[in-house]
Amino acid sequence: MARFRTLDDLGDLTGNVALVRVDLNLPMQDGSVTDDTRVRAAAPTILELAAKGAKVLLLAHFGRPKGERVSTMSVSMTIDAVQAVLGKEVMFVPEIAGPVVAQSVGILRPGDIALLENTRFWKGEEKNDPELAKAIAANGDIYVNDAFSAAHRAHASTEGLAHLLPAYAGRSMEAELKALDAALGTPERPVAAVVGGAKVSSKLDVLTHLVTQVDHLIIGGGMANTFLAARGVNVGKSLCEYELAPTCEQILDAADKSGCSVHLPYDVVVAKEFAANPASVRTCNVHEVAADEMILDVGPQAVEALADVLKTCRTLVWNGPLGAFEIEPFDTATVALARSAAALSKEGVLTSVAGGGDTVAALNHAGVADDFTYISTAGGAFLEWMEGKELPGVKALEIA
Ligand code: ADP
Ligand code: MG
């Protein structure tokens, strides 16, 4: 694993200003925050820096204002949630650089925290403009990046700043990097990957990369339909990307060459309509799907076999639900396999790392989120990492 400076490398910070990139892109409804997970993830870093005596300036983006000041996208909308989680007062500063920030720094006492405006109000942010990065850096002494979820973007606040100030990985960034390294960097073998979700097209690069990295690739969800169809199985009205058959063949060939076993379901749960507990729901062999039926979940026999595969593995990386888990009973396979993985993780025989918006929701629904070794809430950055890509925000933190 590449080396990073962490907060362990910092002593007393009294008299210093820490510019801290965090993820405050919080889900909102009617002006209030509906989920403060991201704030809770950043809190240890913020509070630790404050406890070391730093004046802490938080940098974050919020929505997609595209380089304009958009009042409904002011990051100040999150300040109540931030204060509630931190249990401290936070000053809001409607700028990210320049004299207004400098004056605010003058008012702050050691250990105080300020939230700077949405970085994406400035065009230079997403362009990674060195001038903007310099202007932001001018008000700080150190830079801490605690937003792994934004690390796949080379922006001024996620990448540029790391080159201008002594740069450190925050606690949540550090935990994420350690977990990801344990899952795919230097994992204990055998390694299994579960890739599910709706479409093969959205995860082509993930599949292509994983077959060269893992010992078992378990394909579920809508994308299993595309693979089954590519193998000549009639999938009826299932969600299926028929045009990707040649791509699926290539992925299967690549898996073969690198000794990766690919697991496709051999029994499935089908229904004639996409609704909760429809009368038409039934379980059948993949070769028995009728023309008017849709595959909406992996079947119980396949799940049992997959649980047996996990028992032989030491590491699991999971992205994408095995079925249309939002609607009962099509959550069954996802819940069952998640519980098997959770039990093995709890026993200490499996290192399990999962990520993806719907995946996290599915694992929460299964009630196993706490038993997995690590759950990444990073979305796009997690997927890019699963694709084997170098993340610029992470790269910039590495010690040469
Ligand atoms: P993540 O957000 O974790 O990366 P995806 O967005 O790729 O996951 O996939 C989640 C979606 O895939 C869910 O909305 C789920 O309903 C859908 N899905 C899973 N299996 C099927 C299926 N067999 N048919 C249709 N949709 C499915
Ligand atoms: Mg999704």
**In order of start, what are the domains of the chain with their CATH numbers?**
7-175 (3.40.50.1260), 187-386 (3.40.50.1260)
Q: For a pocket test of ligand 1, which of 358, 365, 382, 386 has the largest count of ligand atoms closer than 8 A to its C-beta?
A: 358
Sign of CA dihedral 116, 120, 122, 124: positive
Task: Say how many Å lie between the CA of residue 162 and the centre of ligand 1.
Answer: 36
- Which two structure tokens, joined as six digits, stand for 214? 């893992």
The tens place of each residue's pLDDT in the chain, 400 residues long, gives: 889 999 999 999 999 999 999 999 999 999 899 999 899 999 999 999 999 999 999 999 999 999 999 999 999 999 999 999 999 999 999 999 999 999 999 999 999 999 999 999 999 999 999 999 999 999 999 999 999 999 999 999 999 999 999 999 999 999 999 999 999 999 999 999 999 999 899 999 999 999 999 999 999 999 999 999 999 999 999 999 999 999 999 999 999 999 999 999 999 999 999 999 999 999 999 999 999 999 999 999 999 999 999 999 999 999 999 999 999 999 999 999 999 999 999 999 999 999 998 999 999 999 999 999 999 989 899 999 999 999 999 999 999 7
Model's pTM, two decimal places? 0.93
Task: Say how many Å lie between the CA of residue 386 and the centre of ligand 2.
Answer: 15
Q: Active-site residue 153, yes or no? A: no
Ligand 1 atom index nearest CA of 357: 2
What is the C-alpha radius of gyration for the chain, rounded to an integer number of angstroms?
23
Task: Say how many Å lie between the CA of residue 249 and the centre of ligand 1.
Answer: 22
Kindly report the CA angle at 394 between 25 and 120, in degrees rounded to 5? 35
- The finding on whether 221 has its CB within 6 A of some atom of ligand 1 is yes
- The finding on whether 361 has its CB within 6 A of some atom of ligand 1 is no
Q: Active-site residue 87, yes or no? A: no
Cα–Cα distance between 258 and 197 in angstroms, integer?
Answer: 24
Cα–Cα distance between 314 and 300 in angstroms, integer?
Answer: 23
Cα–Cα distance between 220 and 234 in angstroms, integer?
Answer: 16
- The finding on whether 197 has its CB within 6 A of some atom of ligand 1 is yes
Cα–Cα distance between 136 and 66 in angstroms, integer?
Answer: 18
Cα–Cα distance between 254 and 111 in angstroms, integer?
Answer: 54
Q: Active-site residue 199, yes or no? A: yes
The catalytically annotated residue of 67, 111, 236, 357 is 357
- The finding on whether 289 has its CB within 6 A of some atom of ligand 1 is no
Q: How many CB atoms lie within 10 A of CB 153?
A: 20
